[in-house]
Structure 1
Amino acid sequence: MINRLSHLAVPLIAIILGLAAGAVIMLASGYNVASGYSALWNGIFGEVYYIGETIRQITPYILSGLAVAFAFRTGLFNIGVEGQLLVGWTAAVWVGTSFDAPAYIHLPLALLAAAAAGGIWGLIPGFLKARFFVHEVIVTIMMNYIALHLTNYLISDVMTDHRDKTGKIHESASLRSPFLEQLTDYSRLHWGILIALFMAVFMWFIIHKTKSGFEFRAVGFNQHAAQYAGMSVRKNMMYAMMISGAFAGLAGAMEGLGTFQYAAVKGAFTGVGFDGIAVALLGGSTAIGVVLAACLLGGLKVGALNMPIESGVPSEVVDIVIAIIILFVASSYAIRLILDKLKNKGAK
């Protein structure tokens, strides 16, 4: 129980310190702290539209966070979530624009295509790690760039006739809902949030309630001990990266089938995949932690857009707050050390 409270205290302290640092920066820059954070709050909860946009932003963050967290639990660091997201996005839109079919067939096929594309893209570094001991961080970073340029080529030269953007997906493959849009004053909220939450439960179930999940965790804790116990470390590495990539591919589907409903040539990365690393770190690589961390980061990202409008505070202040939160979470050992010293002093 004490250990659980300690693990919970670290992200909470990191969030408080991050917000405090943001306040100091605003004061040093001559801005009103109360006005700035009030504008941030209003940008998240002030209107029904903002709430819809916040939930819409949270959706891919949950899935990209799950992708990073799942690999973490097996002792792997998947930096390639951004690339896996891009191939999943492109695959989902390709299915969504190629043919028309009943929604109960078309939408699941598009989602499966995204998960399969992301899974295959994740399996490649997993195979190289398991078979040739090539470090997954290096491979996944490089594959992000391959994914970016490959998807750009497919969009402009295969899916379209040298255009920068595909046509809109068919309604039968869309995650959008007129009901949700009207409910949230025509925000871009879609049904993907239910898929993201289901995937969080799915990850929890795999990790904690299945034999495979036990093996994933065992490999993550100690590969040599797991191998000595008769577990296949190589197989678990490949499966973990494949499942991680499938989560990332679904994050891309949320963007392609929900938020944008098309795929476009990109000059740079979306950033959602990289933000997934922050979500996983802040969430402690647990399913519930990832959902809560995605809510925090998604809320901050959307709320920050209102700060320049309502209070004149630059939205970049929130980026600094997020960076400081991640910094303190990453240095959680130091925070735990301080907490232990305070606990020991109190015991005396």
Structure 2
Amino acid sequence: MKDKGSLWAACTQACTRVCRPRPQTSSPRPLRTSPLPFLRVCAPSFNALTTRHDLRSYLLHFSLGRLAFPDVRLFRMTQLFRDMRLYGNIILLLLGATVLGITAYWASIFLPNIRHDYSIFALIVPALTILLLLVGLQWSTPRTEAFFLFVFGVLWLAMASWTTDIIGNTQCDSLSTQTVPTKSGTLSTRSWCYEMRVVQAFSWMIFCLYAIFLYILISLTTRAKALGRPYAWAEPIIELPWFGQWPGWPEGQYLPQNGMYQFPYAYPAGQPMAYAASAQPQMAPGYVIQQNPGHSVVIQPGVGGQPPTITQIPGSVSSV
């Protein structure tokens, strides 16, 4: 097998992958074509790889049925979703902190006898929002995030509606000499009206952001689940790919651990698999894909999580 490289393939539930043999040449050369349009395949000899301990570059992502070779960029998760989520949380923190500052001032001048219910509610909602955002920055899963996005979206909708009901269609500019009572005196109605308008606008804005974030989260999670991540709702939320990206391997599961590569979503379904950096990879215990010289390997997906069907078809080898 020194003159012919070994190619490994994994299959998805929707398509068949065909691996063509490497032409017999004196030096490693890339194949002319590839069964995957987005994949550039370069297959050096297997013996050379084992000698250089370079097999760690050969990763099989069974959940998507993709191949990875030393000179191939795998379509994997980047930091884009993590950054976008961080920016969104920062915006929510700034808006919530502004509302909390105004409502805390109201509580200091109105409570406990004036506007009791509204003042307390207007304090609780932004305070809980900031607390949960700080906790969510440390750890969260898509299902817990979706739950809290829905709950706080409803709370901010109630906050915006209540504020709108109180302020109504009042024109703040026309309030010049009027005052509102406080627990220790009076407050300019114009100032109070402007503050109410700020709280009203920010409350509606936060509600809209929560609705948008919930839609994006559901879209990305269902997309990742459809692309081969059956437990996407329970995995850490930072592992979600952004739109146009393929799901990557979960942190701590697909990354090398003690010299081994872990693949929890292998064939048969549910059986974990690992291969060392100095050994030949296997699809699952007992399934070794060894390409015969001059043959093409055809891997067809199994039905209902069963092992794939592997067929080697004789064929001519095209030179580059």
TM over 0.5: no
TM tier relative to shorter chain: under 0.3
Q: For the pair shown, which has the larger CA radius of gyration, 1 or 2? A: 2
Q: What TM-score, normalized by structure 1, do the two folds share?
A: 0.24
Which structure features the higher share of strand residues? Answer: 2
TM-score normalized by structure 2?
0.26
